[in-house]
Structure 1
């Protein structure tokens, strides 16, 4: 075939410097490398270690390390959202646009191996302008589901406003999205809720999402069975762009480190889980960025203590756990500070439920493992994701929401119901979704076909 004899297309990948965004795009990069594409990944020095697992198994992938653009409001060496306060997120989005000129210069220097196309995170809308200048296509990589991506872009396209600027319960509907979903104001992305007309950073964020709608297409880390209603036809709120659903991109080996050095080994966690009955353990993790307050931690600890449920609870190094709790519950639970081998934990037969913030990577890792979820959304696309999981996919139950401490009796009741009879139907649905997800990424499955079609389109660009 022609695709096998030509020099392969050279694809430039530009991940966004946030843990969940980088990891998903690196998973995609690995799959593209297996299909013999030539890949270069853009990275800044502090984020380079995150690429180590990928480069060890995909040595043909090149890296382009560029200095992080300077900004007086971002501390030196702070090149990732990890550890940043939420208020700095929009500043980071605006700052990384400073990679435009060095990227342009590098691409123009590649006459021996010209860049065929750019695949960049949906927080890098500015790369569309870069691609236009170079006369090459740019594809958007969406680390969120297609529904969450559509809602995020819809608000910046339509700019809905509250009649009362203090009414956080104001309902915003999305009539151009299938099923016309609606969400209260506080459940919309903070990126939109903090938008200030005329502010340089806010306008940069808005422009980012509007530029995405002009792209050559969208690559989404999702799969047909999970979001079929939003994949059947091109969506107006995604600029009617072609969407390639190529997920779940979660690793299948069950032990791969996902972007950090584990503070506890997979073997140690497995040894602890091996002593537990099937489906008896509640896994708790709110991602790499959510800051659990002392009040939240105190309430959650009280619920775990009263319920007697077995658990693994992953917390950030800075999280304050009530004094003596870990020692009192050592026979029932394990607390992991820092990075945990989440994929391995979720795939252990003893884990029955996952209390999650509903970050999309965690969702797909849980779906791929067949583990039901208790939802506790806090920000970003998490409220949209939680509603999808509970009301449409049927693989989750609502547990709590927001940054306030949970009502202990209410959360304890949800945990008891999940572990009891009420949870049986959801657990069965989760096992069915697990099989569907596995089928999607197998050869001939919906996601595998979409990935093959994407690669074929990239090869066609060589002849243009």
Structure 2
């Protein structure tokens, strides 16, 4: 048998994983990476998406096809009209009004029928479904088709364990004041939170039914997949596994799949036309560890008054910076101010408007720190790059992720935000002033012995992250275990595999 025929025969016998991300950039990106990791192990993978989101994932899918991986983008219709959404509103970052979140998640649920039709049309049943925790409707698909189902947890295991402990001890119910501080029980460190900074996904008004379904989907799942690695949060992963009584596989940091410049540049949204060459050329002219990178993710919006304070704080440090200001594409007033700011700082600052090739920037040797909203993707990408953080959480899991970075790992310094951004909608002044911005940036970038120790810890974690993803590393072996477990589970249920 020729080598090519042997490869084809091998592929014919592969498992088939169906990966279903939430239609939000921070959720799609790591699950697309997970799909690629499974494909690199020889599995056939169907990555479920919608037409608008497929455009964002196309470059990565095309690259996978070019290299011979069996990964397919499966575009299912997104029923905007049926749920009362504007046409094309297929991603959370496209939602313009808060009252559209309910209809958006209703649209997601309506994808269950098309997904069932796709899976029934396959020659043989898939091995399993791996779905985002925020997609509980896949529970019905799994049950109806007798397919094993695993839940992908996007945030840190630290976040999930903390919120689980709060549920078990009924603190969400018993603490009446949302702003009252209390300690998360049964942890090795003293972690103080309040109900706003330890809020669960969908624990919001009018979303109670969705929260209940998410909890039910977790309880009925066959296990959990984490974008983390054992060496990063070992006690928390072990305790979470014990607490939920299910298999838990940390398989990250999944961003380390991307090693080449081109792969890093298109990760997440290869259709934006970002000039990666000019970004790299700008960074090449800077000394090692001399640049601070600022980005608050794809959803959080920063008001002009706060942008001004960040800008003046950066100017006062005298440090070089790369700053992602997506608001400059959406707001004319911001656009004018950013233009003036750029002129004043043309010789030491680079402003990027729109989508940012974040991993490409973070892994450049010139970058010495990362000011981040502490979304888990961003925090873990900084960990993987060995870069310390200036933490500025906005909402959701980000406050507990900050606790992990600042108080447990000690690889970051917080700017002092105490309240989620969605509880500050009527506040007109900046939350953090320019003096605090300057002070915290200097503390991380130029902080003497403290800064050196922080950078050393960050570098050591980066080394552990890279080793975890290598052949024989903890995440590599966990992915092998996941594939084997899923295949065995499917066989035990009588699933006729590919």
Contact 2:60 2:267 in 1 (8 A): no
User: Aligned pair count?
Assistant: 455
Q: 2:440: which partner in 1?
A: 414
| Mapped contact 2:294–2:324 kept (Cα < 8 A) | yes
Cα 1:302/1:439, change in 2 over 3 Å: same
Q: Does 1:24 align with 2:30?
A: yes
Q: Out of 460, 477, 480, which is 1:452 matched to?
A: 480
Stretches of structure 2 lacking an aligned partner (at least 5 in a row):
1-8, 422-429, 493-498
* 1:101-139 C-alpha deviation (Å, 9 max, x unpaired): 2222332333x2212211111101221232122222100
Question: How do residues 3-402 of structure 1 correspond to structure 2 at under 5 angstroms?
Answer: 7-59=13-65, 60-70=70-80, 71-85=82-96, 87=98, 88-110=100-122, 112-152=123-163, 160-161=171-172, 167-171=177-181, 173-175=183-185, 179=189, 181-189=191-199, 191-195=201-205, 199=206, 201-235=207-241, 239-250=244-255, 251-255=258-262, 256=264, 257-260=266-269, 261-262=271-272, 264-316=274-326, 317-318=329-330, 320=334, 322=337, 324-401=340-417, 402=420
SS at match of 1:194: coil
SS at match of 1:64: strand
CA contact (8 A) 2:181 2:193 kept: yes
Report the CA distance between 1:53 and its aligned residue. Answer: 2.6
3-state DSSP of counterpart to 2:476 = helix
Name the SS of the counterpart of 2:19 in structure 1.
Answer: strand
CA distance in 2: counterparts of 1:204 and 1:184, whole angstroms: 22
Q: Does the C-alpha gap of structure 1 residues 275 and 62 become closer, same or farther in structure 2, counting only changes over 3 Å? A: closer
Cα offset for 1:163? 6.3
Paired residue secondary structure (2:436):
helix
Greater RCO (CA < 8 Å, at least 6 residues apart): 2
Deviation at 1:85, TM superposition (A): 4.4
Aligned to 1:119, what secondary structure does the other structure show?
strand
More helix by share: 2
The DSSP-based 3-state class of the residue aligned with 1:389 is helix
Return closer, same or farther for 1:173/1:101 CA change in 2, 3 Å cut-off: farther
Structure 2 vs 1, CA of residues 304 and 180 (structure 1 numbering), >3 Å: closer, same or farther?
Answer: closer
Structure 1 contact 285–356 (Cα < 8 Å) conserved: yes
Q: Deviations over 1:43-72 (max 9, x none)?
A: 111111122133223222223221112345
Farther-moved stretch of structure 1 (288-297 vs 204-213): 204-213
Partners of 1:8 and 1:210 lie apart in 2 by: 31
State the secondary structure of the residue aligned to 1:225: coil
Q: Deviations over 1:201-241 (max 9, x none)?
A: 4312331233212210101000011111112244466x322
Asked if 1 retains the 8 angstrom alpha-carbon contact of 2:16 and 2:45, the reply is yes
**1:143/1:14 Cα in 2 relative to 1: closer, same or farther (>3 Å)?**
same
SS of structure 1 residue aligned to 2:378: helix
2-structure distance, mates of 1:173, 1:136: 40
CA RMSD of aligned residues (A): 2.5
Alignment partner, residue 425 of structure 2: none
